[in-house]
């Protein structure tokens, strides 16, 4: 009994230490705009998803203007497979014909977006789900004829997002944009980067399914803790990155080129990585800074 009480006291002291360490960060981040990109790879496990959304709720309660931009690539591929439709990527971007575009809309806007909104609402902080077509928030132009309806963001109109934030809701944005003749499929990493730029965000966070950027993709011990913009550009140019990490790192460079001062890649599968990154001195993941 005595031992258990001592253990409990130690735990309480540790919790108090954590709060003390967090206090300056809470002060620093109050009122700041944080764009969180939540990727399909880290959204697979519903239990983990609930935990991530709980962390987002906490950021909101601590006074941050939190914007959630989401993907859902795995869910789209699963739907296409069920429909016996091809799943094809070039340089990390999905080849998107008209039928594929319909499936993308159904999965991202109809399913994933509303699941996230519903789950955030369960925490008590009301969320509003939009796609890039709402309020013409994301306007895109085609990337190349071989990719079909894949869009590159040409312009972001942040007014609707700002209205939602000003009314104290959490905007949840599906990475579908409007283009010259209908909807376009935009990589969610690029959408998050463009939204962060348009909102002059203080921080852009990519939640994915790995701890950050590895020097060697096959070695989890090779996590790179921090990179400057120049170093990030040379990694991108080296051609060593593969799969979804290519558009992610390209989006990070674009965000930094356009003035976002801090970008982080975090593992959305490790418990409370968001809180550890924002509220602890050491942080976690890979931090990208201007210099
Ligand atoms: N150098 C690297 N470091 C870390 N991950 C890498 C690297 N190169 C490629 N990857 C791959 O990128 C994946 C993350 O990108 P992606 O699957 O698009 O995530 P998300 O769906 O979260 O956007 C990782 O699971 C990993 O397989
Ligand atoms: C053009 C393009 O590739 N669009 C992506 C959009 C979803 C996405 O980016 O989802 P994740 O963040 O989960 O990977 C796709 O169709 O998969």
pLDDT tens readout for residues 177-199: 999 899 999 999 999 999 999 99
Residue nearest to atom 15 of ligand 2 (CA): 73
pLDDT of residue 4: 63
**Cβ of 175 less than 6 Å from ligand 2:** yes
Ligand nearest to the Cα of 70, by number = 2
DSSP character at residue 257: H
* Contacts made by residues 269-275, CB under 8 angstroms, sequence distance 24+: 269/42, 269/45, 269/48, 269/209, 270/211, 271/48, 271/51, 272/51, 272/55, 273/207, 274/36, 274/52, 274/55, 274/56, 274/59, 274/205, 274/207, 275/55, 275/58
**pTM summary value:** 0.94
Q: Environment class of residue 145 by beta-carbon count within 10 Å: exposed (0-12), middle (13-18) or buried (19+)?
A: exposed
Q: Does residue 72 have a known ligand-binding role?
A: yes
Element (DSSP H or E) covering residue 122: helix 113-122
Report yes or no: 201 and 243 within 8 Å, Cβ to Cβ.
no
pLDDT at 3: 55
Instruction: Please state, as a whole number, how many other Cβ atoms lie within 10 Å of the Cβ of residue 32.
Output: 16
Pick from 188, 257, 232: nearest CA to 39: 188
Q: E strand or H helix at 278, and its extent?
A: helix 273-279
Cα separation, 247 vs 187, whole angstroms: 8
Intervals of the chain under pLDDT 70:
1-4
Residue 1 is predicted with a pLDDT of 46
Residue 236 φ/ψ, nearest 5 degrees: -65, -40
**Pocket of ligand 2 contains residue 131 by CB under 6 Å:** no
By CB atoms closer than 10 A (0-12, 13-18, 19+), residue 276 is middle
DSSP letter (8 states) at residue 216: S
Spacing, Cα 52 to ligand 1 middle (Å)? 19
User: How remote is the CA of residue 289 from the centroid of ligand 2, in Å?
Assistant: 25
**How long a stretch of residues is the chain?**
291
């Amino acid at each position: 009994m005595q031992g258990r009480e001592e253990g409990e006291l130690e735990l309480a002291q540790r919790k108090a230490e954590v709060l003390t360490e967090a206090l300056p960060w809470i002060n620093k981040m109050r009122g700041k705009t944080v764009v969180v990109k939540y990727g399909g790879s880290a959204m697979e496990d519903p239990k983990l998803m609930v935990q991530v959304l709980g962390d987002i709720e906490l950021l909101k309660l601590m006074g941050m203007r939190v914007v959630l931009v989401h993907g859902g690539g795995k869910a789209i591929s699963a739907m296409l497979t069920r429909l016996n439709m091809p799943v094809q990527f070039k340089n990390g971007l999905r080849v998107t014909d008209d039928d594929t575009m319909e499936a993308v809309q159904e999965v991202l806007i109809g399913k994933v977006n509303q699941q996230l909104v519903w789950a955030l609402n369960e925490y008590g902080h009301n969320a509003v789900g939009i796609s890039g077509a709402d309020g013409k928030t994301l306007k895109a132009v085609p990337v190349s004829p071989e990719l079909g309806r894949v869009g590159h963001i040409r312009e972001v109109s942040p007014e609707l997002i700002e209205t939602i934030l000003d009314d104290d809701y959490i905007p949840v944005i599906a990475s579908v944009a409007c283009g010259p003749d209908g909807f376009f499929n935009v990589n969610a990493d690029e959408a998050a980067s463009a939204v962060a730029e348009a909102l002059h965000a203080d921080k852009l966070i990519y939640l994915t399914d790995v701890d950050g950027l590895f020097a060697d993709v096959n070695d989890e011990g090779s996590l790179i803790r921090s990179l400057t913009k120049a170093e990030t550009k040379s990694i991108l140019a080296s051609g060593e990155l593969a799969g979804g990490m290519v558009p992610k790192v390209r989006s990070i460079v674009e965000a930094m080129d356009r003035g976002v001062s801090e970008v982080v890649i975090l593992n959305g599968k490790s418990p409370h990585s968001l809180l550890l990154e924002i509220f602890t001195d050491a942080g976690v993941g890979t931090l990208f800074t201007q210099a």
